Amino acid sequence: MNSSIKFINHASVLISSGNTKLLTDPWYYGDAFHKGWNLIVEQSKKEINDILNEVTHIWISHEHPDHFSVKFFLDFKNQILENSIKIIFQKTKDQRVVSFLKKQNFVVKELTFNKEYKIGEEFTVKCIKDGFYDSALFLNTKHNKILNLNDCEITTKERAEEIFSIVGECDILLTQFSYAAWKGGEKNIKWRKLASEEKLKSMEIQINTLKPKLVIPFASFVYFSNERNKYLNDSANNPDSVVKKFSHFRNLINVMKPFDEILTNTSNFENNDSLAYWTEKYNRIRNNTYHRYDKIKFHDLNNSFKEYQKRIFKNNSRYLIRLAQKISPISIFKNIVIKIDDINQVVLIDIFSKELAKTSEEPDLIMSSDSLKFLLSNSFGFDTLTVNGCFEEGKKGGFENAAKSLAIENLNNMGIYFNLFIMFNFQIIIYFFKRLSKVRKKIN
């Protein structure tokens, strides 16, 4: 029996080989990133039921909600359990995703990085670490070698060669084709255009190094769906721009629409129908209704700040944070000033203060009261904000200042805490500041 790939939506495909059918990153409806993203098309409940009736395994690449949709796993819990579908996920220090899944009584297999696991007859998988929390999956079936990079940042020849050293040449490559986060604010169209170009250059590096016979562009079939971030749609790549970029390759780029299926041992495909389909869907975006945030009372923001403060000091050393604040040469854990534009307040976030303080200082960041509440109420709040882009810099260097203080929970969510053992994770800290430096250059 031939292997096949069926495209479902965004970063979700069904890869079949014999009796083993692995579904990736199921997100099929609803918003993500705090009313910041939506899918260009959605699936119905019946369509999802039909998909799950085929599935034996589900792989989740990482914790971002467009890959790990909590609502999907809750809504379709019974069917996943009844069909004895196994969940596979990278082995992490924090165990957050795995703990959630096990509490729902799902069968979960944790994958050690770069180790091969057999999940079916002549069907093995290997999980590859990337960045802070992302991962890729290399699938080796009887007929093909398939590499799913989703939105891993394989942006340099050196990094692509590292991946090549783990997997070798692949037959089929699945990879992201457009940017997916804040790009310096509404006026910074230069960065957005550069980000689109860089994403296509990254694809080119991946193609030239990994030498796939077929490339399926995916993991970008979304739009920025909030009144505050919809400007980010103006420079995003679409499937047509990908096909044009790689037109010099014959029969390489296969654009797929929902439920298109291709046998993995054939190069016969036609993009005309799928390109027409996506062009029509992308053109509809401008007429969509965009999300708006609610106004949150200042009293509620103060309560959220107290929750935030408790989380920080529960997971990190109060003494070391105070010491770093005073003597660190890289200016971390400083006070952050935020303008809450919908309630016309400017507040000072001082981690050692009992409450938010009103101030007249120049703000580092500008956002809605709903965004600030979300940031303070969730350990993934700052990470969500940087992805949905529903904020602006208030002054030069404002984002960098904020990240050096508010991104501590990004590390905590990876099982890294600001305590005496922090030096054992020094490489992660260096990586964080390197990324921050790149952002600063592009903002400027």
pLDDT tens profile 337-357: 999 999 999 999 999 999 999
Say what the pLDDT of residue 389 is. 97
- The conformation of residue 338, written as its DSSP 8-state character, comes to E
pLDDT surpasses 90 at 185: yes
Mean pLDDT of 112-118: 97
pLDDT surpasses 70 at 364: yes
Mean pLDDT of 427-443: 70
Mean pLDDT of 401-429: 81
pLDDT surpasses 70 at 235: yes
pLDDT tens profile 161-182: 999 999 998 999 999 999 999 9
pLDDT surpasses 70 at 1: no
pLDDT surpasses 90 at 309: yes
CA 270 – CA 45 distance, rounded (Å): 29
184: left (phi over 0), alpha (psi -120 to 50) or beta: left
Say what the pLDDT of residue 186 is. 96
Quickly state the pLDDT bin for 142 (edges 50, 70, 90).
Answer: confident
pLDDT tens profile 19-32: 999 999 999 999 99
Q: Which fold would CATH assign to domain 4-287?
A: Metallo-beta-lactamase; Chain A (3.60.15)
Please state which of the ranges 211-225, 238-252, 415-429 shows the lowest mean pLDDT: 415-429
Please state which of the ranges 73-87, 200-214, 262-276, 301-315 shows the lowest mean pLDDT: 262-276
User: pTM for the full model?
Assistant: 0.94
Q: 3-state SS string over 119-151?
A: EECCEEEEEEEECCCEEEEEEEECCCEEEEEEC
Structure tokens at 214: 């077929």
- Least Cα distance to 409 among 309, 294, 276 occurs for 309
Domain spans, the chain? 4-287, 298-443
Pairing mode of beta strands 134-141, 20-24: unpaired
pLDDT surpasses 70 at 259: yes
Q: In what order do the strands lie in the sheet with 357-358?
A: 357-358, 345-349, 336-340, 365-367, 391-393
CA 324 to chain CA centroid, Å, is 30
Mean pLDDT of 292-315: 97
Share of the chain above pLDDT 90, in %: 84
